[in-house]
Structure 1
Amino acid sequence: MKQTNTLREKLLQLWVIFTPILITQLAMFSMTFFDIMMTGKYSANHLAGVAIGSSFWVPIFTGLSGILLSVTPIVAHLVGAKKKHEVPFSVIQGIYAGIAMALLVLLIGSIILMPLLNGMNLEDEVRHVAKFYLVSLAFGIIPLFVYNVLRCFMDALGKTRVTMIITLMSLPINVILNYILIFGKLGMPQMGGIGSGIASAITYWIITFIAIWIIHRKKPFVDYQVFHSFHKISLKKWKEIFTLGVPIGMSIFVETSIFSAVTLFMSKFGTKVIASHQAALNFASFIYMIPLSISMALTILVGFESGAKRFKDARSYSLLGIGGGVTISLVTGILLFIFRPEVAHLYSDDQAVIRLTSQFLLYAVFFQLSDAILAPIQGTLRGYKDVNVTFIMALISFWVIGLPLGYLLANKTEMGPFGFWLGLIIGLAIGAATLSYRLIIVQKRQFNLQKSEQ
């Protein structure tokens, strides 16, 4: 990364940082996308099982890995402040913290998984697939958390293209393993949705080893000598990581877990509704990778400029990112509205599932419009290391407003399962409005601080 002076230079640097992140996010998400899509082609029951398993896995993974996202602004601030020598220590402590969290998840999961699944109104085959899909993924959770820390380090240096290449290398491996293990090719037994979990776990190990090799051998990462020295666990550094990261992780957790809660509530509507809801949610999440990537790019750039106390430049990046997110979402929203039936057909050949999925996707159009504003603002605030209000507003907009309202609409009106989506859309819109106001306050505070120091 480098300091920019003109709007054109800023737009170019934002694009250079954003594009590889987007490709990386799409590729990473494609692993789940192909899990869902290929399992749906195998059977509706296996798709429902993966949907239930994902409803547990996604919020846990995204919430806890969100804590590790604190490594990005920490490293970006150190680089912006020209404190390069402090970077390796922060990265290693992030790895230690990631391993500790992964072990904790494995311990808790081994205790509560079966009681949770047994307490749900599921068909036996759906419950079986959900259980062993999660057990399979568990074997990849440690390397996945380690990779997230290493990716944050590489991205914070502005080298987002490297993580893009790593992920693109691993994607075809994941798809091939899915094909072999789900459908039982090359002499392997047919494992359906469970096979997709095994394929993902193997892929997580592969991308982690590739990242370690690159950081240890290739410039500019080798200059930081991350793995050249042994560092003891530092509770002080863990405190910094968790103080900044826990609000980030909790904010992401309350956003992703809301969909898990909705999926669990929808179990009363039957297997086809669960499968259709999961298919629509999966594609909506695929589109969400665009504003999410803008958010991650803004965290890097705003963190870099804020660390160097160039607050005017940080504000310019935030405006460019938010404006770009809204523009892109308008285009994707129109395309999704037009091609809803075709998208639904990607996930199933069952006509009832296709019809329901197409209806859910109509709500997804409006959902992603609010996301286009909310996500870039969240990324900007993280770049400023302002994370607590983001968590509080996410909690209120989704759990205090969105879910209760959705429950009422789903159970007290004729909307049925679609009421949950409308409730979440309203909650998301409220969250976008309140965080916009928060961003204005933070940026005014930064400008006032800069003026007082001049």
Structure 2
Amino acid sequence: MDQTYNKKEKLRQLLFILIPILITQLAMYSMTFIDTLMTGRYSSDDLAGVAIGSSLWVPVFTGLSGILLAVTPIVSHLVGSKKQGNVAFSVIQGVYLSVIMALIVLAAGAFSLTPILNGMNLESRVHETAFDYLAALSTGLIPLFVYNVLRSFIDALGKTRVSMIITLISLPINVVFNYLFIYGKFGFPELGGAGAGFASAITYWLITIISLYIIHKHTPFSSYGVFRKFHAVSLAKWKEILLIGIPIGLSIFFETSIFSAVTLLMSNFETEVIAAHQIALNFASLLYMIPLSISMALTIVVGFEVGAARYEDAKEYSWIGVVIAVLMALVCAAILLLFPEEVASIYTKDANVLKLTTHFLIYALFFQLSDAIQAPVQGALRGYKDVNVTFIMSLISYWVIGLPFGYYLANYTSWGAYGYWIGLITGLAAGAITLTSRLIYIQKRKFPAGLQKNF
């Protein structure tokens, strides 16, 4: 990454970092979609089992991997402050910590998975598939957590195209192994839904190996000497990563898990309503990849500028990112407003589900506007390493304001299922307002432009 001197240069550098991140996020989203599609074509029971397994795993993984995202602002600050010699030590400590976290998850899963599934009153085939899928997936947990650290290091240097290429390589790998293990082709065992778990695990191992090779052999990564010597475990560095990472991980967990909670609460409604809700939520999640990617890019560039004590530049980056997100949200909102039936028809041909989905998509329109503010602002705050207050704000916005309000509307007013969506919109809006206020406070009080330095 380079120092920039005007808004035009900042916009160019931000887009250079952002576009590969967006492609990467869309590719990762596509991997989940492909798993679901290929398992669904094998059998509905296997699809249900994989869906249950994913619903248990995704909130846990997103929350825990969020902890490892702390490596991004840490490395960005070190590079921005010309302390490249400390980068390798920080990355290696992140790798050590990721392995420990993976082992803890494996141990917790071994003791708790069966009781959790037993408590869900599932059909025997669905229960078996969910267990086998998660057991298969667990064989790739260690490389998956390590890869999150390696990707954070790569992205922190502004080389997001490398992460994009690695993820794009992983897509066909995942498809091939899905085909081999789900359907039992070319002499491979026919494992159904469990095969999707093994396919993902193998993919995790391969992309981690590819990342290790690139970091060790190719510039600029090799110049940091990450794997050239042994570094002893540093509990002090682990503490730094956890102090930054735990609030990030919890913020992500509370944001993602509230959607799972709403889905579970909606199980009391008719099947068509649940299906329409899932379709609209799936499409809204796809559109969320845009502000999420902008958020991740802002963490990198803001962290770089704050590390160099160029606080005015960090401030400009923050608001350029928010403006881009809002403009993109307006485009997405226009699509949802003008073509709701066309979007819904991608997922279903059922007339009743189609009609209900178009109604839910109108509510999803308001998701875009709130997400366009709160997601980039959160990313900027992470760049400032301001994570504790933002975690509390996220918790209150989603779980104290959004979910209870949605529950009240859905169960005690005529809004019905739409009440949950109004609650979600209210929570997201509250998050956008409070987080924006926090960013303004941080920029004015803790990192005022008057302290700016130029190197």
Q: How would you bin the TM-score normalised by the shorter chain?
A: over 0.9
CA distance in 1, matches of 2:195, 2:355: 27
Cross-structure match for 1:292:
292
Structure 2 unpaired stretches of 5+: none
Distance 1:362 1:452, change over 3 A: closer
Q: Is the 8 A contact 1:333 1:368 kept in 2?
A: yes
Distance 1:44 1:74, change over 3 A: same
Q: Is the 8 A contact 1:216 1:225 kept in 2?
A: yes
Offset of residue 255 of structure 1: 0.6
Offset of residue 350 of structure 1: 6.2
> Which region of structure 1 is more displaced relative to structure 2, 123-132 or 12-21?
123-132
Q: How does 1:64-83 map to 2 (within 5 A)?
A: 64-83=64-83
Offset of residue 109 of structure 1: 1.6
Q: Is the 8 A contact 1:20 1:161 kept in 2?
A: yes
Q: Look up the equivalent residue of 2:284 and give its one-letter code.
A: A
Q: How does 1:5-404 map to 2 (within 5 A)?
A: 5-186=5-186, 188=188, 191-269=191-269, 276-347=276-347, 356-404=356-404
Offset of residue 73 of structure 1: 0.5
CA distance in 2, matches of 1:247, 1:261: 20
CA distance in 2, matches of 1:452, 1:200: 46
Offset of residue 4 of structure 1: 0.4
CA distance in 2, matches of 1:258, 1:114: 24
Q: Is the 8 A contact 2:308 2:453 kept in 1?
A: no
Q: Look up the equivalent residue of 2:363 and give its one-letter code.
A: Y
- Other structure's SS at 1:67 match: helix
Distance 1:342 1:137, change over 3 A: farther
Distance 1:389 1:209, change over 3 A: same
CA distance in 2, matches of 1:119, 1:426: 32
> Which region of structure 1 is more displaced relative to structure 2, 373-382 or 100-109?
100-109
Offset of residue 124 of structure 1: 3.7
Q: Give CA deviations for 1:403-441 in whole Å, capped at 9, x if unaligned.
A: 112222233334444332221111111110111111110
Q: Give CA deviations for 1:11-54 in whole Å, capped at 9, x if unaligned.
A: 10001111111111111121112223444455554444333222
CA distance in 1, matches of 2:211, 2:37: 28
Offset of residue 355 of structure 1: 5.3
Q: Please report the TM-score for the alignment, with normalisation by the length of structure 2.
A: 0.92
CA RMSD in angstroms, aligned pairs only: 2.4
Q: Look up the equivalent residue of 2:198 and give its one-letter code.
A: I
Q: Give CA deviations for 1:340-380 in whole Å, capped at 9, x if unaligned.
A: 44444544666666555554433322222211111000000
Q: Is the 8 A contact 2:277 2:357 kept in 1?
A: yes
Q: Is the 8 A contact 2:312 2:448 kept in 1?
A: no
Corresponding pairs, count: 454
Q: Is the 8 A contact 1:55 1:257 kept in 2?
A: no
- Other structure's SS at 2:5 match: coil
CA distance in 2, matches of 1:126, 1:343: 30
Distance 1:354 1:116, change over 3 A: farther
- Other structure's SS at 1:3 match: coil
Q: Look up the equivalent residue of 1:236 and give its one-letter code.
A: A
Q: Is the 8 A contact 2:49 2:129 kept in 1?
A: yes
Q: Look up the equivalent residue of 1:134 and give its one-letter code.
A: L
Q: Look up the equivalent residue of 2:438 and give its one-letter code.
A: R
Distance 1:396 1:284, change over 3 A: same
- Other structure's SS at 2:228 match: coil
- Other structure's SS at 1:228 match: coil
- Other structure's SS at 1:219 match: coil
Q: Look up the equivalent residue of 1:101 and give its one-letter code.
A: M
- Other structure's SS at 2:286 match: helix
Q: Is the 8 A contact 1:37 1:346 kept in 2?
A: no
CA distance in 2, matches of 1:270, 1:322: 39
Offset of residue 96 of structure 1: 0.7
Distance 1:138 1:83, change over 3 A: same
Q: Is the 8 A contact 2:312 2:452 kept in 1?
A: no
CA distance in 1, matches of 2:359, 2:200: 30
Distance 1:353 1:325, change over 3 A: same
Q: Give CA deviations for 1:250-286 in whole Å, capped at 9, x if unaligned.
A: 1111111112222332334466655554443333222
> Which region of structure 1 is more displaced relative to structure 2, 121-130 or 270-279?
270-279
Q: Give CA deviations for 1:312-367 in whole Å, capped at 9, x if unaligned.
A: 10111011100000101111222234444444454466666655555443332222
Distance 1:178 1:366, change over 3 A: farther
Q: Is the 8 A contact 2:76 2:156 kept in 1?
A: yes
CA distance in 2, matches of 1:35, 1:340: 26
Distance 1:41 1:430, change over 3 A: farther
Distance 1:333 1:161, change over 3 A: same
CA distance in 1, matches of 2:387, 2:35: 32
Q: Look up the equivalent residue of 1:144 and give its one-letter code.
A: L
Q: Is the 8 A contact 2:310 2:452 kept in 1?
A: no
Cross-structure match for 1:429:
429
CA distance in 1, matches of 2:410, 2:362: 16
Offset of residue 135 of structure 1: 2.0
CA distance in 2, matches of 1:131, 1:352: 34
CA distance in 1, matches of 2:317, 2:29: 26
> Which region of structure 1 is more displaced relative to structure 2, 209-218 or 185-194?
185-194
CA distance in 1, matches of 2:277, 2:191: 23
> Which region of structure 1 is more displaced relative to structure 2, 6-15 or 439-448?
439-448
CA distance in 1, matches of 2:151, 2:222: 14
- Other structure's SS at 1:173 match: helix
Distance 1:451 1:161, change over 3 A: closer
Q: Is the 8 A contact 1:280 1:357 kept in 2?
A: yes
Q: Look up the equivalent residue of 1:442 and give its one-letter code.
A: I
Q: Look up the equivalent residue of 2:106 and give its one-letter code.
A: L
Q: Look up the equivalent residue of 2:83 and give its one-letter code.
A: K
Structure 1 unpaired stretches of 5+: none
Q: Is the 8 A contact 1:41 1:347 kept in 2?
A: no
CA distance in 2, matches of 1:192, 1:276: 27
- Relative contact order (C-alpha < 8 Å, sep 6+): which is higher? 1
Q: Look up the equivalent residue of 1:141 and give its one-letter code.
A: L
CA distance in 2, matches of 1:429, 1:38: 36
Q: Does 1:410 align with 2:424?
A: no
